[in-house]
Amino acid sequence: MQLDQFLDLARTRRAVRHFRPDPVPSEILEAVLEAARWAPSGYNLQPTSFVVVTDADTRERLCEACLGQKQVREAPVVIVLAADTRADRNNLDAVLGQDLAAGAIDDGYAAMVRKGVKLVFARGPFGLGSILARVVLPLIRLFRPVPSFPSVEGRVWAARQAMLPAMNLMLAAHAAGLATVPMEGFDEARVRDILGIPRARTVPLLMPLGYAAPDELVRTRLPMDRLVHPERW
Ligand SMILES: Cc1cc2nc3c(=O)[nH]c(=O)nc-3n(C[C@H](O)[C@H](O)[C@H](O)COP(=O)(O)O)c2cc1C
CATH number at residue 67: 3.40.109.10
Percent of the chain residues topping a pLDDT of 90? 86
3-state secondary structure of 180: strand
- The mean pLDDT of 122-140, rounded to a whole number, is 86
Number of other CB atoms surrounding residue 101 within 10 Å: 8
pLDDT, tens digit, 9 for 90 and up, residues 144-167: 998 888 988 999 999 999 999 999
Q: How far is the CA of 123 from the centre of ligand 1 (A)?
A: 34
Tell whether 117 is covered by a domain. no
Q: What is the residue with the minimal CA distance to atom 19 of ligand 1? A: 15
pLDDT of residue 128: 85
What is the tally of structural domains in the chain? 1
Alpha-carbon separation of residue 123 from 48, 113, 138, 165 (angstroms): 20, 17, 17, 26
Number of other CB atoms surrounding residue 189 within 10 Å: 11
Question: Is the pLDDT assigned to residue 127 strictly greater than 90?
Answer: no
Tell whether 206 is covered by a domain. yes
Identify the CA nearest to 181 among candidates 189, 193, 173.
Answer: 173
pLDDT of residue 88: 95
Tell whether 40 is covered by a domain. yes
Percent of the chain residues topping a pLDDT of 70? 100
pLDDT of residue 131: 87
Q: How far is the CA of 133 from the centre of ligand 1 (A)?
A: 34
pLDDT of residue 1: 83
Alpha carbons 72 and 79: distance in angstroms, whole number: 10
Range of the domain at 163: 13-85+154-213
Residue, of 124 and 27, whose pLDDT is higher: 27
Q: Give the Cα-Cα-Cα angle 191, 87, 195 (nearest 5 degrees).
A: 20
Among 14, 70, 181, 209, residue to substitute to test ligand 1 (most atoms within 8 Å of Cβ): 181
